[in-house]
Every structure is written in C-alpha cells, then in structure tokens.
Amino acid sequence: MNPELKQKLHLLVDNCTDEFLLEEAKAVLESDQSGKEFWDELDEEDKESFLGGEEEHEQGHSITHNRLMHQFGEWKKK
C-alpha cells in the first residue's frame, strides 16, 4: 500500500466542497469493500452516458482538465 497516495487522497477529500463528487467517491470505495462491481450498481442511463463519453474520448473528442480550465479562465475574462 502506498501511504503517500492515501495521504494525497485524504487531502483531496478534506478540501473537496462538491457533495455530489464526495458521494460518488464514497460509492466507489464502498463497492470495492463490499465486493460489488461499481458498474453493476449504475442504472442504464448512467452506463450509456459513460460509454458515450468513453467513445468520444477514443475518437479524440476530449480535452485535458488543464486545457479546459485555461479556456474557462479566458471565457471569464470576456
């Protein structure tokens, strides 16, 4: 087990203010502990959305987080 990774995750969780994101992270970690597959816990709409996003990414229709934040910053200046 990588203690540095766990420490970084703790810091990210401590500083996160997005309740939805925290709930999703909790669900992923709980599914790991329970032995249930996270994918099996998703409804069909979420599965389709995920697969659609994955397909778009594979086709090159995606940008990095840093690029998105840069574009958002430029947009806010206008």
* Model pTM score: 0.44
Under 8 Å between Cβ of 56 and 44? no
- Alpha helices by DSSP H, listed for 1-78, are 3-15, 19-34, 38-41, 44-58, 65-77
Q: Are residues 5 and 18 in the same domain?
A: yes
Domain that holds residue 14: 1-41
Does 17 lie in the same domain as 31?
yes
pLDDT of 27 reads 83
Query: Taking the chain (78 residues) in consecutive chunks of 10 residues, what is each chunk's mean pLDDT?
Result: 91 94 88 74 92 92 88 88
Is the same domain home to 2 and 37? yes
- pLDDT given at position 35: 64
pLDDT at 56: 92
Same domain, 33 and 55: no
pLDDT of residue 17: 94
How many structural domains comprise the chain?
2
Angle among Cα 29, 13, 62 to the nearest 5 degrees reads 80
For residues 32 and 51, membership in a common domain is answered with no
Same domain flag for 56 and 70: yes
Cβ-based burial of 55 (10 A; exposed 0-12, middle 13-18, buried ≥19): exposed
